[in-house]
Amino acid sequence: MRLLRLAAIAATALLATNAAPAQTTLRVGLAEDPDILDPTLARTYVGRIVFAALCDKLFDIDEKLNIVPQLALSHETSADGKEVTIKLRPGVKFHDGEPLNAEAAKFSIERHLTFPGSFRKPELASVDHVDVVDPFTIKLVLKAPFSPLIAQLTDRAGMMVSPKAARVEGDKFGLHPVCAGPYKFVERVQQDRIVVEKFQDYWDMSNVHIDRIVYLPIVDSTARLANLKSGGLDLIERVLATDIKNVRSDSRLKLTAVLELGYQSVTINVGNGERAKNPLGESAKVRQAFNLAIGIIRHQQACRIREKAYAVRAAPPCDPDTARLAGDCQLLHRGPTDRERRKVRYARFDCSSPYIAVWDSVAGDKRRDRAIRDSASQ
């Protein structure tokens, strides 16, 4: 069922088990207020949750992590890898009644590529141009073979927007988005609510069972959970790690956790302007020490990286195809040698604390920040 994917998109979600099965309004508590509701310009994680209702994509990812068609029916890549032909699903309408055809798909992809400030441009940088083959077939002509392209089209780069609405609204399109998803936009009150309602001409209407969704941004995680417990919300995305035990002990609540399709990393500037002139940017030994320190902490099972209320253990990306990371992966499995420990000390890298704490205070969740700081100080 389409709506169940809303919970899967969230890293951690809660659903009140006493919700009536025949309810027609779903109230979802978001940890933040999404940014602009324009697939071309959007950046935020919570925005994706709202887009799951508003804007279908050319392709999707199923519960087994397979890429499956959504607004597309199929795709075929040429022998040289430089042409990708996509057949579109016929009979699809945008929320304004306009048809989704090859011309509309071409418009959407070109808008992602050329619109000022587009955050999709880098994701589609491999595309040289888009050709219309027939009314329901487009061809993406690439600058060079790019195997992740279809995967890019499972996210916002693959979301189709109404050409008519986009031309009229211009950079204000995000105030009244018109896409081809199961729900159409009704209203938005900044920092208060986003309301969508079922689109009667949706191509997969038999799998849409809720009439209306109200997204309510509640930044404070304690207030968000309290609203769920009191019945003011039906579902919340994200819960503090410190609240998980409490949630699991409440028979009225159901906790669902899924692995995220993403990673967190530390990117070090080693040669781009004045900002590279610091110990990490200029000294390979300090960078090596930093890497070894993370490996040491990971091996000791004492390192926690906490970001946006997620608690995960630090580990280098152990990709067998990435030769330059082989040393990191060996360190992860065997633990650091005495010589490597001495390297950390030699570089004067302070690794005395068993914790690495990373958090974002923008959301203003004081309880979460305090919990992380307390943990890091132990």
pLDDT greater than 80 at residue 309: no
Task: Identify the top-confidence range among 19-23, 213-217, 290-294, 346-350.
Answer: 213-217
- Structural domain count, the chain: 3
What was the pLDDT predicted at 273? Answer: 87
On the question of pLDDT at 137 being above 90, the answer is yes
pLDDT tens readout for residues 141-185: 999 999 999 999 999 999 999 999 999 999 999 999 999 999 999
Burial per residue of 124-148, b for 16 or more beta-carbon CB atoms within 10 angstroms, e otherwise: bebbeebeeeeebbbbbebeeebee
pLDDT for the residue numbered 3: 40
Residue 8 pLDDT > 60:
no
Q: What average pLDDT is seen over the chain? A: 80
- Output the CA–CA distances (angstroms, integers) from residue 128 to 102, 121, 279, in the order listed: 17, 11, 40
Closest by CA to 235, choosing from 14, 85, 12, is 14
Confirm whether 119 is domain-assigned. Answer: yes
Q: Is residue 1 part of a domain?
A: yes
37 lies in the same domain as 181: yes
| Residue 267 resides in a domain | no
For residues 3 and 10, what is the distance between their CA atoms, to the nearest angstrom? 12
Q: Is 269 within the bounds of a domain?
A: no
Q: Which residue has the higher pLDDT, 8 or 174?
A: 174
In whole angstroms, how far apart are CA 109 and each of 45, 62, 212, 359?
A: 21, 23, 29, 34
**How far is it, in rounded angstroms, from Cα 192 to Cα 124?**
33
Instruction: Please tell me the distance from the alpha carbon of residue 120 to that of residue 112, in angstroms, as a whole number.
Output: 5
Whole-number pLDDT of residue 366: 54
- Pair of tokens at residue 261: 């399709």
Together in a domain, 23 and 59: no
Taking the chain, what is the end-to-end CA distance rounded to the nearest angstrom?
45
Considering the domain boundaries, does residue 355 fall inside one? yes
- 211 lies in a domain? no
Over 50: is that where the pLDDT of 191 sits?
Answer: yes
CB 106 within 8 A of CB 138: yes
Residue 3, φ and ψ in degrees, nearest 5: -70, -25
**Tens digits of per-residue pLDDT, 222-268?**
999 999 999 999 999 988 888 999 999 999 999 988 777 776 677 88
Output the pLDDT for position 12: 39
From 337, 335, 371, 336, select the one nearest 355 (Cα to Cα): 371
Task: Count other Cβ atoms within 10 Å, centred on residue 289.
Answer: 24
Co-location of 158 and 63 in the same domain: yes
CA 197 from chain center: how many Å? Answer: 23
pLDDT reading at 187 higher than 90: yes
For residue 326, which of 317, 339, 314, 313 has the smallest C-alpha distance?
317
Q: Which domain holds residue 227?
A: 1-29+218-262
**Same domain (yes/no): 281, 231:** no
Rounded to whole angstroms, the Cα distance separating 315 from 297 reads 10
Q: Are residues 132 and 16 in the same domain?
A: no
Residues 23 and 132 in one domain: no
179 shares a domain with 111: yes
CATH number of the domain bearing residue 75:
3.90.76.10
Largest CA distance in the chain: 68
pLDDT at 330: 47
pLDDT score for 153:
98
C-alpha separations of 290 from 73, 266, 295 in Å: 47, 10, 9
**Is residue 131 very low, low, confident or very high in pLDDT (cuts 50, 70, 90)?**
very high
pLDDT tens per residue, range 322-374: 444 444 444 444 455 666 555 555 544 443 433 333 334 334 455 555 554 55
Separation of CA 251 from chain center = 30
Which pLDDT value is given to residue 296? 53
Q: What percent of the chain has pLDDT over 70?
A: 70
d(CA 204, CA 186): 20
Are 66 and 133 within one domain? yes
Higher pLDDT: 91 or 324? It is 91
Q: How far is CA 229 from CA 6, 73, 163, in A?
A: 20, 42, 42
**Does residue 212 belong to any structural domain of this protein?**
no
The mean pLDDT of 18-32, rounded to a whole number, is 79
Q: Are residues 279 and 292 in the same domain?
A: yes
Give the per-residue pLDDT at 289: 79
Q: Average pLDDT, stretch 275-301?
A: 73
pLDDT exceeds 90 at position 90: yes
Same domain, 256 and 129: no
**What is the chain's length?**
378
Q: d(Cα 35, Cα 182) in Å, to the nearest integer? A: 21
213 found inside a domain = no
Lowest-pLDDT range, 34-48, 88-102, 114-128, 291-305?
291-305
How many CB atoms within 10 Å of residue 223?
A: 14
- Say yes or no: 70 and 175 in one domain: yes
Do 151 and 96 share a domain, yes or no? yes
Question: Rounded to two decimals, what is the model's pTM?
Answer: 0.71
CA distances from 212 to 1, 120, 149, 365 (A): 15, 29, 33, 28
